[in-house]
């Protein structure tokens, strides 16, 4: 079922507006509304005084109009009475300063009080609505880990972190000392109570300690989400539970793929532009984030907040040009979204989000934005079968939360941003209209023809065994610089040279390495199939000695001309590539084209700024032409308006 709707906050308006609002929502073309996610006080104005009558009325009004409902648990914003009664529920900034009540996400995820009071309101709420046929899903909390809420430095977290370490090392402090190498700087601990949080100090904390802190922070949030999912499903067996993940998930101190495991559906709040940005994210970066969300559970996802107007809390952002936000909605559907709700029905007139403009503004007039959403809903529902079919890819980019955390701990180059490096690799395929899955290292690699492992710094033997099986089975594997350098505890293995565990597979050894502070610091000279080509490299470089691989590029500077920069080792029906440095876009594009050709992966050419995506199968198959340009272009033999989308049934074979 394709759900199309809006986020509606009737508690923020005069109740007399509700009937008119819901009539307008129906006229818009909606079949669902999302409500109640920030309304704890409305449902419990004082401790134990539960009153759901307001939302009973809202749901009854929605039902009369044929609208379904997504109900949100309200735990992202606690009521003032709870903060006053239990100030220990609030999280703390680094240094011990308590976060003030008044924002959102201000609670500590290791607070017993948060669990206690959350369980009370959730249990009563789910018991009250578990037989309500209009409720099609429950949203657990809101944007967990967002806006800095993924970190807390309070005494409860200090105690919980020490307990986490004690359990990990089975009470053996000497095992922790040995693993962390605490003999360095005389950091040996006599007991777990001596272990600090990695707060501000002179120079830096132990990298192994900091990695376990990252894992602990992730577990704290994941546990709270899993607690809510269990509670909802215990109280309402068969309930569909979702969570709305924010953007930038790969930069959070929480592993969203792990957090998403107990959910039925991963949802996403898609903001291609936010306050203070001069321009939206590039189209490939928007697509990358969509594919990342789909990869959390490797299935289609929902969007619970789609942008239509300008956005910003204190600084207002860029206004999407006419048709542009509508195009982003089509793009989301193209990448596996099967439910689309806009944030918000009407922009707030009071409170912190007054400049997060909605479909309607405070003037309450039906204008351009209303017409765009209405036309999108009318159009996209014609292709429901295609858009709810699984999205399929032959190429995958794999990330590892621990490796990303390790780079946050030790960046190694001021230019190295792992998230951005992934998007650069993604763009090589996006530009050729080749779909890509962005998946966690725990995901199954079977079924892919090409798997890319960008900067997977940490060696994890079980994962490496799966990667070797993929390559030995004929898959094409792409390794990059700074892959398989450190062990699972964020230490350098003794007696091993990178890529640890992959040297035989790749046919190369990293003899030395250096960090560059330029993106194009040195020249590259093509060899073999790439003879005569020249390129530039930078950011980082591995000096590769070759044991059993073809050299595709050498370094062009005199000191390292005997070292390989890019190699390929034939492995059965596939190949193993090693990219020893950051590559300029032209050089990287040439390698991507070679990989696609050798694997028989079909591409589609399109004008610059035009994205082409195939969805569905058989008689339900469609092709979407998405024009991200602010001017008209010809694509597929027809003119496509600025920020326009055209959907054609029974797409032609990919050529």
> Residue 518 catalytic?
no
SS3 351: coil
- Could you give the angle at which helices 324-334 and 368-380 cross, rounded to 10 degrees? 20
pLDDT for residue 574:
85
User: pLDDT tens across 166-222, in order?
Assistant: 999 999 999 999 999 999 999 999 999 999 999 999 999 999 999 999 999 999 999
> Residue 305 catalytic?
yes
User: pLDDT tens across 28-47, in order?
Assistant: 999 999 999 999 999 999 99
Q: How far apart are CA 376 and CA 109, in angstroms?
A: 39
Q: How far apart are CA 82 and CA 87, in angstroms?
A: 8
Q: How far apart are CA 282 and CA 302, in angstroms?
A: 21
Question: Is the distance from CB of 454 to CB of 421 less than 8 angstroms?
Answer: yes
pTM over 0.85: yes
Beta bridge pairs of residue 577: 478, 568
Mean pLDDT of the chain: 96
Question: Is the distance from CB of 293 to CB of 612 less than 8 angstroms?
Answer: no
| Closest to 310 measured CA to CA, from 265, 276, 285 | 276
For residue 353 the two structure tokens come to 């989000």
Q: How far apart are CA 286 and CA 486, in angstroms?
A: 31
Main-chain dihedrals φ then ψ at residue 435, nearest 5 degrees: -65, 145
- Residue tagged active-site, from 37, 44, 92, 143: 143
Q: What does DSSP say about strands 564-571 and 574-579: parallel, antiparallel, or unpaired? A: antiparallel
Q: How big is the CA angle at 556 (ends 551 and 557), to the nearest 5 degrees?
A: 135
Q: How far apart are CA 578 and CA 506, in angstroms?
A: 7
Question: Tokens 């559970």 appear where?
Answer: 297
pLDDT for residue 571:
85
Long-range contact set of residues 365-374: C-beta below 8 Å, sequence gap at least 24: 366/24, 368/322, 369/308, 369/309, 369/325, 370/28, 372/308, 372/322, 372/323, 372/325, 372/326, 373/28, 373/29, 373/308, 373/326, 373/342, 374/27, 374/28, 374/29
Q: Cis before residue 344, ω within 30 degrees of 0?
A: yes
User: pLDDT tens across 483-528, in order?
Assistant: 999 999 999 999 999 999 999 999 999 999 999 989 999 999 999 9
pLDDT means per 10 residues, the chain with 655 residues, are: 97 96 98 98 98 98 98 98 98 96 97 98 98 98 97 98 98 98 97 97 97 98 98 98 97 98 98 94 98 98 97 93 98 98 96 94 96 98 97 97 97 94 98 98 97 97 96 96 97 96 97 94 96 97 97 94 95 91 98 96 97 96 98 96 95 49
Q: How far apart are CA 637 and CA 645, in angstroms?
A: 14
Q: Alpha carbon of 237 to those of 117, 137, 345: distances in Å?
A: 22, 12, 31
For residue 41 the two structure tokens come to 């006080």
User: pLDDT tens across 284-305, in order?
Assistant: 999 999 999 999 999 999 999 9
pLDDT for residue 323:
98
User: pLDDT tens across 359-385, in order?
Assistant: 999 999 999 999 999 999 999 999 999
- Residue tagged active-site, from 92, 305, 372, 394: 305
pLDDT for residue 655:
45
Provide DSSP, 265-307. EEEEEE-SS-TT-SSPPPHHHHHHHHHHHHHHHTS-EEEEEE-
Q: How far apart are CA 264 and CA 650, in angstroms?
A: 31
Beta bridge pairs of residue 551: 567
């Amino acid at each position: 079922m394709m759900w199309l709707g809006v986020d509606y906050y009737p508690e923020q308006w005069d109740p007399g507006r509700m009937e008119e609002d819901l009539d307008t929502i129906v006229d818009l073309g909606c079949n669902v509304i999302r409500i109640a996610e920030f309304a704890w006080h409305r449902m419990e104005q004082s401790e134990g005084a539960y009153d759901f009558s307001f939302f009973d009325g809202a749901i009854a009004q929605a039902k009369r109009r044929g609208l379904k409902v997504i109900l949100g648990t309200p735990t992202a914003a606690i009521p003032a009475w709870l903060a006053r009664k239990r100030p220990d529920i609030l999280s703390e900034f680094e240094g011990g300063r308590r976060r003030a009540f008044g924002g959102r996400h201000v609670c500590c995820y290791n607070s017993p009080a948060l669990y206690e009071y959350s369980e009370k309101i959730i249990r009563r709420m789910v018991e009250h609505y578990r037989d309500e046929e209009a409720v099609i899903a429950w949203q657990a909390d809101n944007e967990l880990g967002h806006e800095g809420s993924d970190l807390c430095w309070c005494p409860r977290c200090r105690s919980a972190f020490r307990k986490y370490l004690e359990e990990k090392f089975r009470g053996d402090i000497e095992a922790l000392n040995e693993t962390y190498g605490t003999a360095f700087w005389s950091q040996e601990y006599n007991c777990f109570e001596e272990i600090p949080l990695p707060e501000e100090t002179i120079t830096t904390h132990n990298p192994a300690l900091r990695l376990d802190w990252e894992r602990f922070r992730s577990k704290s949030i994941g546990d709270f989400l899993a607690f809510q999912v269990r509670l909802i499903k215990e109280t309402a067996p068969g309930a569909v539970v979702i969570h709305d993940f924010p953007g930038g998930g790969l930069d959070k101190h929480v592993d969203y793929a792990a957090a998403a495991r107990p959910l039925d559906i991963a949802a996403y709040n898609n903001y291609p532009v936010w306050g203070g940005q001069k321009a939206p994210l590039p189209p490939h970066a928007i697509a990358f984030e969509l594919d990342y969300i789909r990869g959390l559970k490797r299935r289609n996802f929902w969007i619970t907040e789609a942008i239509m107007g300008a956005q910003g809390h204190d600084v207002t952002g860029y206004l999407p040009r006419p048709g542009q936000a509508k195009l982003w909605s089509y793009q989301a559907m193209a990448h596996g979204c099967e439910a689309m709700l806009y944030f918000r029905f009407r922009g707030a007139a009071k409170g912190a989000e007054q400049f997060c403009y909605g479909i309607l503004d405070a003037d309450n007039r039906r204008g351009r934005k209303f017409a765009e959403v209405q036309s999108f809903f009318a159009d996209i529902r014609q292709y429901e079968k295609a858009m709810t079919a699984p999205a399929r890819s032959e190429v995958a980019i794999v990330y590892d939360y621990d490796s990303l955390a390790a780079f946050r701990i030790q960046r190694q180059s001021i230019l190295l941003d792992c998230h951005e490096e992934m998007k650069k690799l993604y763009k090589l395929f996006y530009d050729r209209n080749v779909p890509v899955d962005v998946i966690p290292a725990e995901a199954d690699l079977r079924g892919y023809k090409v798997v890319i492992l960008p900067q997977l710094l940490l060696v994890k033997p079980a994962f490496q065994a799966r990667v070797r099986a993929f390559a030995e089975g004929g898959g094409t594997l792409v390794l990059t610089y700074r892959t398989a350098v450190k062990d699972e505890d964020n230490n350098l293995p003794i007696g091993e040279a990178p890529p640890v565990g992959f040297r035989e597979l790749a046919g190369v050894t990293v003899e030395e390495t250096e960090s560059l502070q330029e993106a194009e610091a040195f020249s590259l000279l093509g060899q073999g199939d790439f003879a005569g080509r020249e390129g530039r490299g930078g950011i980082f470089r591995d000096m590769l000695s070759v044991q059993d691989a073809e050299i595709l590029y050498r370094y062009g500077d005199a000191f390292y001309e005997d070292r390989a920069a890019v190699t390929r080792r034939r492995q059965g029906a596939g190949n193993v590539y090693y990219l020893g440095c950051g590559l300029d876009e032209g050089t990287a594009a040439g390698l991507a084209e070679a990989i696609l050709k050798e694997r028989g992966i079909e591409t589609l050419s399109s004008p610059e700024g035009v994205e082409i995506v195939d969805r569905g199968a058989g008689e339900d198959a469609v092709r979407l032409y998405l024009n991200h340009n602010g001017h008209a272009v010809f694509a597929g033999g027809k003119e496509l308006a600025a920020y326009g989308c055209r959907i054609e049934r029974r797409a032609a074979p990919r050529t």
